[in-house]
Amino acid sequence: MKPHWDMGAEHFDFMWRLSGDREVAPLQVFSSDKQIWLQFAVGQYVPAIFAIEDKQYIPLSYSRKDPYVIVQGQWQQLVFRGGALEAKAQHEPFILSDALQSEQVTVVDNMTPEHVLEDPL
């Protein structure tokens, strides 16, 4: 089934880590600046979805845009519960290391692995 909307992958953040019971976890999670998109397996029921904020579980409502379930908001951690099963999705934005953020990074063009071994920076 082809989605009926016009947004490319560049509009979404795929930096989410999944953990826990696969039976209640989505297959993938990605987010925009206002929504979190969840894709569950075909035939998988949608579990209860919670956000965690200040150590409190907040039940979330969702809408469907097949094949996705969409949660409104910019939550950093979601919990999926079904009976005794639980899974989590944690947003982990890409952060450059201190070295990459500084202006001291040197970019070297046309270096082969042999050059790196012979002449370390």
Q: Are 62 and 46 in contact (CB under 8 A)?
A: yes
In this predicted structure, the answer to whether residue 116 has a pLDDT above a threshold of 90 is: no
Mean pLDDT of all residues in 86-111: 68
- Which CATH number is 9-96 given? 2.60.40.2500
How high is the mean pLDDT of the chain? 82
In this predicted structure, the answer to whether residue 13 has a pLDDT above a threshold of 50 is: yes
In this predicted structure, the answer to whether residue 105 has a pLDDT above a threshold of 70 is: no
> CA 102: distance to chain centroid?
26
- Provide, rounded to the nearest whole percent, the portion of the chain with pLDDT above 70: 69
Query: CA-based angle 94:12:14, to the nearest 5?
Result: 45
All structural domains of the chain with their residue ranges: 9-96
40-92 pLDDT, tens digit per residue, is: 999 999 999 999 999 999 999 999 998 999 999 999 999 999 999 999 999 99
Q: How far is Cα 58 from Cα 121, in angstroms, rounded to an integer?
A: 50
pTM: 0.70
